[in-house]
């Protein structure tokens, strides 16, 4: 087994967050090695719906999301390629007065917190934005957001990281990870890597990596389902959801329509598998047809699903390990991490390089899951 | 519908024979098939083809009628016009979602026989997307189901089907314009070493010789060892040009049928994540099965060409074998017939090494030029696929993510093996190590409204 020369930072996971953090850390002058168990962008980063969304995020995530949005608008300058980024509105449609009230309350809450990117539109403005929307829709919440090509984006970040000196090794699942004589040692089947610091960006497998260094994070593997139709004539120039029903709907530049929305299939991270459960998609299909009557003529071409890690509060784990000053985490984005990728990468690199915690990521430390010792003992007794 | 002992997908020779054998043994069997009538591709519409068309299509086609009659008389339920679009493993069995008369339903069974047969191996050549260019198999389907004869086609490629269709067109009084055969002369020498074994299946050889003699008598020109084939035309096909044994030819025609053999249809076995291996002589992936046709997924059997190309006669034998085996495993009496069927299958396969060596897929179509379109749905060329593979796309699924190959309406059926081949060529790995597209449901395009109306739990 070969032992490689020590790096300053070892990143585990070749998804968008790992590649972005590796890129920015290398730009900050660190020697960085990235280990990916399969291939870059193989899992959630490569197969998510590609929404670049600030709309309707948890308030805690908004500053990070805003920061990332500014980076998305400069994505060509940052990565040298456009990553398929298209600035379009994200829309949450109201189907009733009750929905409108929910959306209005949200706007009030956002304004009170000092955020102005979400605004309410009425029936006429909605109709102007989305002429194909069903007649019963009476308004919407809108944010000037966008979407991008996830696989392409992640590969572009990986390519830029390599160009900045990051050594990316694919097909290298980390079997052991421990801290020894001031260095982190990661062992794969083929080699051992050492580094002064380690960053866990292992997505749905992030909980497993965290557990190896003594950090307990409750993480549930989930598989968001997505459908794509055959090409249709252009009729929708926004990413559309609804106020109350799970739906994520967008028409791609080539005319196909991608439909997702939080419906979950079965995920089996140990075997890299997801199972598509169409029972879960019947309701989504009904919703899509009700919001856009033109969808009555749509034909489903394919379905797919990636494996994501979801936390109990649906917020990511970002920050320093609870047990080691030189270990860091950025995982568990709970099916909405794609938009956050660029900023999380940049801020993690800042934290790791300078030791200073950027305020945008401060709310996401894993200590929020800390179980009091008493409860922990009880849990053990129960299990 | 009540849970079945066995569901069969596909009403070709393998599926029909499996249904007959399993119902004889007392199993409750449902067979689902897309077509309105049984027969599969090989015996398409055999139950209602007029006598004149039966004669035209020859005695092998008529043999299918007997099997279709036995199937019709069996206790098996035939769900005709049913398109299976998803299959899931459930507790000790399988759940099949299928579309029938515009509505989707679910049927469950303890065992599953996949008898979805073969697909024509796509033959990517410059100009093959022009109107007027189709496959030999498609020309034959027109003849079987509608009695439509191709106008003056040039048949390009190689393989038994090419000769059979040519002879059938001769019999119909509308001989093809020419046969442009891609078999290199060296293949004849290579195939000779398999000839002694092939003689055990003499029927196939005499049949082939008979077809050739018929074509010669009819004066159909056969150009041997054709290379550098191009299908020319602006708006549609105008001519086929090629070199044959050092001479350049250009045949003006508005119709061409391409063919270089058939390959197992992997869609269902890939969806179900059955183990597959690369068959170097068939130059195709085949599911790994035991000698009864059971795949690596317990209870899932593959019978007929889907388990490896062996032709219609073997398909019927394998279907019967599998039907009996499923019954035996379900606790019905063991059939002494099983071992004799296995012997008959071995005999029937004797001609395969000879045919596979002689009619190996054309080198030009296996290593298409950079400007040749490979993925017709998304219009992706061989050059783009090679570039993606060199730019660190380790397998077909990454190429798919880069270029959308395999994401279009054919769902990878047309470009799949070509993409595997090009990635293997670019990375220096074997096709077996390179792998294949992950296949996801729906197996066939599904109207969104039908999914919206689908209530699987109420059935």
Number of domains in chain A: 2
Q: Could you give the 3-state DSSP secondary structure of residue B104?
A: strand
CATH of the domain at A262: 3.30.9.10
Chain B: closest CA distance from residue A290 (Å): 10
In tens, the pLDDT along A184-196 reads: 999 999 999 999 9
In tens, the pLDDT along A148-173 reads: 999 999 999 999 999 999 999 999 99
Q: Which letter does DSSP use for residue A359 in this model?
A: G
A265 belongs to a structural domain: yes
Q: Which domain holds residue A6?
A: 2-47+151-218+312-372
Range in B49-63, B114-128, B225-239 with the lowest mean pLDDT? B49-63
CB contact under 8 A, A39 and B398: yes
CA end-to-end distance (rounded Å), chain B:
7
C-alpha atoms less than 13 angstroms from C-alpha of B201 in its C-beta half-sphere: 25
- Select from A12, A78, A90 the least CA-distant residue to A49: A90
- Whether residues A266 and A329 fall in one domain: no
Alpha helices in chain A (DSSP H): 16-27, 44-47, 62-72, 75-79, 97-112, 123-129, 150-163, 206-212, 279-291, 341-354, 373-382
Which residues on chain B are in Cβ contact (under 8 Å) with A296? Answer: 448-449
- Whether residues A109 and A242 fall in one domain: yes
- Whether residues A230 and A300 fall in one domain: yes
User: Is the confidence at residue B148, as pLDDT, over 90?
Assistant: no
In angstroms, rounded to a whole number, what is the distance separating the alpha carbons of residues B7 and B23? 11
Which residues on chain B are in Cβ contact (under 8 Å) with A273? Answer: 273
Which residues on chain A are in Cβ contact (under 8 Å) with B446? Answer: 299-300
- Whether residues A324 and A346 fall in one domain: yes
pLDDT bracket for residue A372 (50, 70, 90): low
In angstroms, rounded to a whole number, what is the distance separating the alpha carbons of residues B282 and B357? 9
Range in A194-198, A264-268, B109-113, B421-425 with the lowest mean pLDDT? A264-268
In angstroms, rounded to a whole number, what is the distance separating the alpha carbons of residues A302 and A308? 20
pTM score, whole prediction: 0.91
Q: Which of A278, A288, A291 to mutate to test the interface with B (most CBs of B within 10 A)?
A: A278
In angstroms, rounded to a whole number, what is the distance separating the alpha carbons of residues B73 and B60? 21
A322 shares contact with chain B (CB less than 8 Å): no
CB contact under 8 A, B448 and A285: yes
In angstroms, rounded to a whole number, what is the distance separating the alpha carbons of residues A220 and A215? 15
A158 belongs to a structural domain: yes
For chain A, percent of residues with pLDDT exceeding 70: 96
- Whether residues A155 and A206 fall in one domain: yes
- Whether residues A363 and A244 fall in one domain: no
Q: At what angle do helices A16-27 and A341-354 cross, to 10 degrees?
A: 40
CB contact under 8 A, B440 and A302: yes
- Whether residues A134 and A230 fall in one domain: yes
CATH of the domain at A171: 3.50.50.60
CB contact under 8 A, A296 and B448: yes
Which residues on neighbouring strands pair with residue B135, listed in sequence order?
B258
pLDDT bracket for residue A262 (50, 70, 90): low
- Whether residues A165 and A209 fall in one domain: yes
Residue B129's pLDDT is what?
A: 95
A113 belongs to a structural domain: yes
In angstroms, rounded to a whole number, what is the distance separating the alpha carbons of residues B427 and A129? 47
CB contact under 8 A, B447 and A300: yes
- Select from A105, A136, A146, A138 the least CA-distant residue to A121: A138
- Select from A309, A306, A357 the least CA-distant residue to A211: A309
- Whether residues A230 and A367 fall in one domain: no
- Whether residues A239 and A337 fall in one domain: no
CB contact under 8 A, A285 and B451: yes
Tell me, what's the ipTM? 0.89
Buried/exposed code over A123-157 (b: 16+ C-beta within 10 A; e: otherwise): eeebeebbebbeeebebbbbbebbbbbbbbbbbbb
- Whether residues A40 and A158 fall in one domain: yes
A67 belongs to a structural domain: no
CB contact under 8 A, B449 and A289: yes
A81 belongs to a structural domain: no
Q: Could you give the 3-state DSSP secondary structure of residue B133?
A: strand
Q: Last residue of some domain: A260, A280, A305? A: A305
**Average pLDDT over all residues of chain B:** 93
Residue A380's pLDDT is what?
A: 39
In tens, the pLDDT along A302-347 reads: 999 889 999 999 999 999 999 999 999 999 999 999 999 999 999 9
Which residues on chain A are in Cβ contact (under 8 Å) with B454? Answer: 278, 282, 285
A61 belongs to a structural domain: no
């Amino acid at each position: 087994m070969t032992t490689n020369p020590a790096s300053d930072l070892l990143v585990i996971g070749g998804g968008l967050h790992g590649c972005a953090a590796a890129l920015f850390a290398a730009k900050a002058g660190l020697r960085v090695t990235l280990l990916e168990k399969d291939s870059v962008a193989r899992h959630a980063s490569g197969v998510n719906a590609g929404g670049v969304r600030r709309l309707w995020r948890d308030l805690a995530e908004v500053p990070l999301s805003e920061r990332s949005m500014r980076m998305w608008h400069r994505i060509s300058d940052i990565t040298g390629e456009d990553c398929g980024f298209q600035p379009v509105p994200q829309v949450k449609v109201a189907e009733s007065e009750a929905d409108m009230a929910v959306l209005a309350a949200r706007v009030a809450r956002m304004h009170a917190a000092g955020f102005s990117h979400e605004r309410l539109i009425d029936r006429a403005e909605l109709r102007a934005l989305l002429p194909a929307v069903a007649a019963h829709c009476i308004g919407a919440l809108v944010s000037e957001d966008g979407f991008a090509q996830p696989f392409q984006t992640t590969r572009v970040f990986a390519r830029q990281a390599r160009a900045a000196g990051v050594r990316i090794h694919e097909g290298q699942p980390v079997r052991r990870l421990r801290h020894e004589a001031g260095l982190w040692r990661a062992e794969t089947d083929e080699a051992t890597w050492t580094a002064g610091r380690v960053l866990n960006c292992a997505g749905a497998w992030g909980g497993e990596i965290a557990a190896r260094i003594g950090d307990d994070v409750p993480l549930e593997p989930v598989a968001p389902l997505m459908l794509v139709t055959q090409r249709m004539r252009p009729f929708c120039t926004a990413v559309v959801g609804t106020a109350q029903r799970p739906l994520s709907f967008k028409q791609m530049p080539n005319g196909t329509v991608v439909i997702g929305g939080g419906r979950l299939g079965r995920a089996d991270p140990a075997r890299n598998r997801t199972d598509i459960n169409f029972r879960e998609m019947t309701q989504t299909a009904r919703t899509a047809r009700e919001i856009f009557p033109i969808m009555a003529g749509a034909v489903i071409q394919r379905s797919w699903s990636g494996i994501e890690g979801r936390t109990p509060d649906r917020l990511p784990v970002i920050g320093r390990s609870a047990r080691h000053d030189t270990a860091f985490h950025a995982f568990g984005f709970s099916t909405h991490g794609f938009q956050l990728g660029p900023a999380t990468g940049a801020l993690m690199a800042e934290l790791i390089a300078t030791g200073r915690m950027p305020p945008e990521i401060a709310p996401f430390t894993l200590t929020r899951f800390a179980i009091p010792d008493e409860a922990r003992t009880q849990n053990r007794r129960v299990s | 519908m009540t849970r079945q002992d066995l569901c069969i997908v596909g009403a070709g020779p393998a599926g029909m024979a499996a249904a007959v054998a399993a119902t004889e043994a007392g199993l409750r069997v449902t067979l689902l098939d897309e077509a309105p009538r049984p027969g599969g591709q090989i015996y398409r519409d055999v139950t209602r083809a007029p006598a004149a068309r039966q004669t035209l299509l020859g005695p092998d086609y008529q043999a299918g009628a007997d099997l279709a009659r036995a199937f019709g008389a069996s206790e098996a339920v035939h769900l005709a016009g049913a398109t299976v679009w998803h299959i899931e493993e459930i507790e000790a069995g399988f759940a099949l979602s299928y579309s029938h008369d515009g509505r989707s339903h679910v049927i469950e069974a303890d065992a599953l026989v996949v008898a979805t047969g073969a697909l024509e191996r796509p033959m990517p050549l410059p100009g093959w997307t022009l109107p007027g260019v189709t496959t030999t198999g498609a020309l034959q389907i027109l003849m079987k189901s509608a009695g439509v004869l191709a106008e003056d086609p040039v048949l390009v490629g190689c393989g038994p089907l090419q000769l059979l269709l040519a002879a059938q067109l001769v019999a119909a009084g509308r001989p093809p314009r020419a046969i442009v055969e891609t078999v290199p002369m060296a293949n004849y020498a290579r195939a000779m070493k398999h000839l002694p074994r092939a003689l055990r299946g003499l029927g196939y050889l005499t049949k082939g010789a008979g077809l050739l003699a018929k074509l010669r008598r009819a004066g159909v020109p056969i150009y041997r060892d054709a290379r550098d084939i191009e299908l020319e035309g602006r708006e549609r096909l105008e001519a086929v040009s090629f070199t044959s044994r050092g001479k350049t030819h250009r045949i003006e025609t508005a119709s061409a049928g391409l063919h270089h053999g058939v390959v197992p249809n992997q869609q269902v076995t890939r969806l179900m994540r059955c183990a597959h291996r690369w068959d170097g002589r068939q130059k195709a992936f085949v599911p790994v099965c035991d000698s009864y046709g059971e795949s690596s997924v317990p209870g899932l059997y593959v019978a007929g060409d889907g388990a490896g190309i062996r032709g219609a006669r073997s398909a019927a034998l394998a279907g019967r074998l599998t039907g009996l085996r499923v019954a035996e495993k379900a606790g019905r009496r063991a059939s002494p017939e099983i071992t004799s069927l296995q012997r008959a299958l071995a005999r029937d396969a004797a001609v395969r090494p000879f045919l596979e060596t002689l009619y190996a897929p054309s080198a030009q179509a296996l290593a298409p030029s950079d400007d040749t379109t490979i993925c017709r749905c998304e219009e992706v060329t061989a050059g783009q696929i090679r570039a993606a593979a060199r730019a660190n796309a380790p397998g077909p699924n990454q190429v798919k993510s880069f270029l959308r190959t395999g994401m279009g309406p054919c769902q990878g059926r047309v470009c799949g093996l070509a993409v595997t081949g090009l990635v293997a060529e670019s990375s220096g790995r074997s096709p077996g190590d390179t792998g294949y597209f992950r296949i996801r449901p729906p197996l066939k395009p599904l109207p969104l409204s039908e999914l919206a109306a689908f209530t699987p739990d109420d059935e």
